[in-house]
Amino acid sequence: MAIRNIIQIGDPTLRKRSFEVTEVNDKIRQLLDDMKETLIAADGAGLAAPQVGILRRIFIVMAEDKYYECINPEIIEKSGSQNGSEGCLSVRGKYGDVERPNKVTVKALDRYGKPFTVKAEGFLARAFCHEYDHLDGILYVDKATKLMEEKD
C-alpha cells in the first residue's frame, strides 16, 4: 500500500467528471488499498478517486465505525434534509454548512465487482453525498451556504 498525494482545490482534475470503471481488477483493488491508507493518514471521513488524481467513479467512506468501498456508485433514493458542517481533504483549512438529504440509498460495486446497496442516514448519508459529488467534479464549497476558516 502507499499513501497518495491528495490534490487541492484549483487543480482542474477535481472539476472533471470521472469515468465509469469497466473492469474491477487488481489495479482497482490496489487503488482502493492506497485510498484507504491515504484516508487514514489524513484522518478524513471519505475520499474519492479524483482527489488522488484518478478520474474513475470510485470513493470510500469511513465513518461511525463503518467502512465502505463504492465503485460506479449511484444514489438511488434520497429523502429528508439535514443542514450541517462539512469539510474536504481537498479544501484544507476550511469548513462550511451544506444542506444534504438526511437519508440515502447507494448502489455500487464492491472490490470484487459484486453489486451491493447500502442505506445511510445522518452523517453517513452526508459523507456519501459529498463523495458522490466529487465524481461529477462538484466540491462542497459550491453548495455551502457559509464557508469558514478552520481555527487550530
> Restricting to residues 38-97, which ones interact with Ni ion according to CB under 5 A?
88
Task: Decide: is 98 part of the binding site for Ni ion (CB under 5 A).
Answer: no
User: By CB neighbour count within 10 A (0-12 exposed, 13-18 middle, 19+ buried), where does 54 fall?
Assistant: middle
Catalytic annotation present for 131? yes
Q: Which is nearer to Ni ion, 66 or 114 (CB)?
A: 66
Q: Whole-number minimum distance, CB 25 to Ni ion, in Å?
A: 26
Q: Whole-number minimum distance, CB 139 to Ni ion, in Å?
A: 7
Q: Whole-number minimum distance, CB 147 to Ni ion, in Å?
A: 14
Q: Which is nearer to Ni ion, 60 or 109 (CB)?
A: 60
27, 39, 77, 110, 140 from 117: Cα distances, Å: 23, 22, 11, 10, 24
Q: Which DSSP string do the residues of 16-49 spell out, in sequence order? A: SPPBPPS---HHHHHHHHHHHHHHHHHT-SEEEG
Q: Which is nearer to Ni ion, 39 or 109 (CB)?
A: 39
| Interacting residues toward Ni ion by CB under 5 A | 88
The residues annotated with a catalytic role in the active site are 131
